[in-house]
Amino acid sequence: MRPVLNNFDVRTKLAIVACISTTAVVIQNAYVLLFLLIVSIVLSALFYGDLLKTIKATRRLWYVFFAIVVLQSIFNRSGNALFDIHGFTLLTDVGLLKGLEFLLRISVIIFSATIAASSDHREVVQGLVQLKIPYEIAFMVSVGIRFLPLLRSEFIDVITAIQLRGVDIRKIPLTKRLKVYSYIFTPIIAGAVNKARRLSTAMETRAFRAYPERTSYLVLKLVLKDYVVMIITLVCTVAVFVLYYIFGFPGRIL
């Protein structure tokens, strides 16, 4: 798909993400969350966010999310029983709804984040700096975002290294596989911390924070369309809150 809205200021995108995520966290209603999910997907496509890549990159996390949904559904005792075994209630309608709401909320947060991720990381840092966030913090956010895929690639490297020593991870029993994962977890984290330490040394040697004031070659400028989009976003967010809290729209499923 061609980028329709990709030339917007990163601060405009951050404002959209903040509004959508905040609404998803504050309002606990499946209809609203479903609406926000649709909005996130549409906006992500319009802003040229890479949804498929994000889903692929976070696919292992989705297993965890689904496990949480199942647990949340099972351990919530309120509502009417939907499924029970010999009088022991395993699943209630409220539990199922809470699980569904959790899944929708996580999806909204992840998918809406792809809107801001469609900007170059230098723009994100500069955007945060121009939002008066200290450069060190903005840079840390940017490095942190870049470290997540690094952690993932570190994990893949380790699994490849184990396989190259004659072990096919997929074919070993689950108990042994879990043993492998627990065994490599600490070294991977230690490796990432080590990389972070090396990065900080490299930055210090290149005079990071040597001067209190920084100038930047890249300066972002908000233009009329950015203000228009930001105002529309804010108005829509307020409208959702007013409709929900004052007019009780949309109603609750249960």
Partner 1 sequence: MLLAFIEAHDVCFAYDKKTAVITGLDMKMAAGSFTAIMGPNGSGKTTIGKLMMGIIRPDSGKILIEGDDTRQLDLGQTGSKIGYLFQNPEFQIFSHNLYDELTFIPRLKGAEEKSAALQADRLLRLLQLEDKKDVPTFSLSYGEKQRLAIAGILMGRPRYLILDEPTTGLDMVRKNILISILMKLLDEGTGITVITHDHRFVSHFSGQLLQIKEGRIIETGIK
Quote the least distance from Cβ 160 to partner 1, whole Å: 6
149 touches partner 1 by CB under 8 A: no
Closer by beta carbon to partner 1, 68 or else 184: 184
157 touches partner 1 by CB under 8 A: yes
Question: Which stretch in 22-30, 40-48, 79-87, 161-169 sits in contact with partner 1 by CB under 8 A?
Answer: 161-169
179 touches partner 1 by CB under 8 A: yes
Cβ 108 vs Cβ 21: under 8 Å = yes
187 touches partner 1 by CB under 8 A: yes
**Listed residue (183, 115, 189, 207) closest to 147, CA to CA:** 189
Quote the least distance from Cβ 172 to partner 1, whole Å: 7
Footprint on residues 193-252 left by partner 1 (CB under 8 A): 194
Footprint on residues 58-117 left by partner 1 (CB under 8 A): none
Closer by beta carbon to partner 1, 5 or else 180: 180
Residues lying near partner 1 in the complex (CB under 8 A): 157-158, 160-172, 176, 179-180, 183-184, 186-188, 190-191, 194
